[in-house]
Amino acid sequence: MLEQTLDDNISENDEEEIFFQDVDTLQKHGINVADIKKLKGAGICTIKGIQMTTKKKLCNIKGFSDAKVEKIKEACLKVVSLGFMTALEVSDKRKHVFKISTGSSEFDKLLAGGIESMSITEVFGEFRTGKTQLSHTLCVTTQIPNSSGYSGGKVMFLDTEHTFRPDRLRPIADRFNLEQNAVLDNVLYARAYTSEHQAELLDFVAAKFHEEAGVFKLLIIDSVMALFRVDFSGRGELADRQQKLAQVLSRLQKISEEYNVAVFITNQMTADPGATLSFQADPKKPIGGNILAHASTTRIYLRKGRGENRIAKIYDSPDLPESEVTFAITNGGVADSKD
């Protein structure tokens, strides 16, 4: 039944279809089918995707010369012009943005409606603060249409810490009166084993979002930094790690804008040795440095409360005031606190 509802809502909401333009349209402008196939093989499936990719990276695609890349870029400009637009035009474009409920009405109020599309929302905190529980709850709430015009959709879950438990979704589905197997069927899962594998999976993500246009609404990465911490060690490899991380985060930003999806990432924390010298109340900070801090649109700090309660605080956001709220972790996922 849930599958049918999702299909109905997606077919009704054909606005998603005009949100991006397929690379196949380049055929009309002199680009051959073989080259278009190579672009898709590299995870570049839209005109905007080509415009978001540097000429250097396009030249790395097998069989692409400088002249061919130049020809493809020129063909793109004939389809979509790159340049300035008025704030009013940007405002109209942002009407496509939707919000996904966290499962807690208080938490949703803190986020002005929920997890936002066309942006990266990062939650960070120590272990047992609710990061993975929030990820599991979002797998279910993403599939529920709401009164503000959001049609519901499928979820892509990229697991780097082996913390995803499909059976955890069952009681959350029961809480929202959804059919368990249908909910699980709408979550596409991948396990990443190295930071390189994590980056490669993003090509598959882009291809899937393109293949099923308007169907997927949320991409979850739990957690974004775990594999980078393992693959790169010591100060000698820090610059290399941060560069690779920047590339992954840049790709995530582009995917969220290109396909109008919400990107939700979790992050770990570390002790800040310099905090004691500056007399900070909390001597811990999220890992990933300034690269991750600037890439995330909204950053939420989670910490433990009493019992099952957790506290969420807006750590950084372009449009939300710094504030905090208490929520609870229940058998049915993230919910409002009873206190």
Same domain, 112 and 230: yes
Higher pLDDT, 149 or 159: 159
Residues 124 and 27 in one domain: no
Cα distances from 113 to residues 99, 104, 146, in angstroms, run 6, 10, 11
Mean pLDDT of 46-51: 88
In a shared domain, residues 199 and 145? yes
Reading the block at residue 306, the tokens are 């009493």
**pLDDT (0 to 100) of residue 14:** 44
Residue 217 lies in a domain: yes
pTM: 0.87
Residue numbers of the domain that contains 236: 96-336
Note whether 130 and 277 are same-domain residues. Answer: yes
**Both 60 and 201 in a single domain?**
no
**SS3 sequence of 115-144:** EECCEEEEEECCCCCCHHHHHHHHHHHCCC
Would you place residue 16 in the very low, low, confident or very high pLDDT band (cuts 50, 70, 90)? Answer: very low
236 shares a domain with 289: yes
Give dist(CA 279, CA 325) in Å, integer: 25
Q: Are 92 and 100 in contact (CB under 8 A)?
A: no
What element of type H or E holds 31? none
Kindly state the tokens that stand for 122: 């990062």
Q: Is the distance from CB of 44 to CB of 26 less than 8 angstroms?
A: no
- Same domain? For 104 and 169 the reply is yes
Structure tokens at 91: 């405002």
Query: 7 in a domain, yes or no?
Result: no
Specify which residues 156 forms β-bridges with: 188, 219
> Could you report the per-residue pLDDT of 161-171, keeping only the tens digit for each?
999 999 999 99
